[in-house]
Chains A and B, each alone.
Chain A
Amino acid sequence: GQQLNQSPQSMFIQEGEDVSMNCTSSSIFNTWLWYKQDPGEGPVLLIALYKAGELTSNGRLTAQFGITRKDSFLNISASIPSDVGIYFCAGQRLNRDDKIIFGKGTRLHILP
């Protein structure tokens, strides 16, 4: 099936550092979504983007919908221990009846 290319696959950072991850696709998407999953839990929606070029913040998180509509990035500023988890990007193509497609996730680890 169609895939989103999410990178990096994992990150090891120091507390307080900024984090950046991104997702790319060969197809145009109408919606980009970013989720966080804690161990043993379902993913929780962090940010939803609906317009090319849109830049949206949620606290220390900022996400952008790429101008080409084929990519998106998520930044986390001043990371804290509770930021640890798996971050997933997801997208939905032009037709809103299309299924939502997920990236493989970025695993964020914070070193003590």
Chain B
Amino acid sequence: DGGITQSPKYLFRKEGQNVTLSCEQNLNHDAMYWYRQDPGQGLRLIYYSQIVNDFQKGDIAEGYSVSREKKESFPLTVTSAQKNPTAFYLCASSITGEAFFGQGTRLTVV
């Protein structure tokens, strides 16, 4: 089936550790996005990539890093520099203006 897959759905990490969230799509979409969602809040853009080997910071990029070595993959690393990393993370891909989302990864840092 075509789609966008995030894994894992739930992730627990100790404070001070880096953690990488996976996002894979087989829709042949050029653009991919990472959003953060806090309880009761909207979507805040962390990073986005319009093409392989290129990406831009979104509104809340501090403490996060990404790579786009393959069209299908856009992993997000939450670094120890991110002061409040516990949140719901959503990945999306798009073509011709329509974005499609994965199921999300709920990250809890203890």
Contact = CB atoms under 8 A, between A and B. Distances in A.
Interface of A: 1, 30-31, 33, 35, 40-45, 48, 50, 88, 90, 92, 96-97, 99-100, 102-105, 107
Interface in B1-30: 6
Contact of B99 (A50, A100, A103, A105): A100
Nearest to B49: A99
B98 A33 contact: yes
Nearest to A86: B42
Contacts of A41: 103-104
A1 B58 contact: yes
Interface of B: 6, 31, 33, 35, 40-43, 45, 48, 50, 56, 58-59, 88, 90, 92, 94, 96-104, 106
Given A99-B33, A99-B48, A100-B33, A42 B101 contact: yes
Contacts of A43: 43, 90, 101
Contacts of A92: 97
A88 B98 CA distance: 13
28 contacts: A1-B59, A31-B97, A33-B98, A33-B99, A40-B104, A40-B106, A41-B104, A42-B6, A42-B101, A42-B103, A43-B90, A45-B98, A45-B99, A45-B100, A90-B99, A96-B96, A97-B50, A99-B48, A99-B56, A99-B58, A100-B33, A100-B97, A102-B35, A102-B43, A102-B45, A103-B42, A104-B42, A107-B40
B45 A44 contact: no
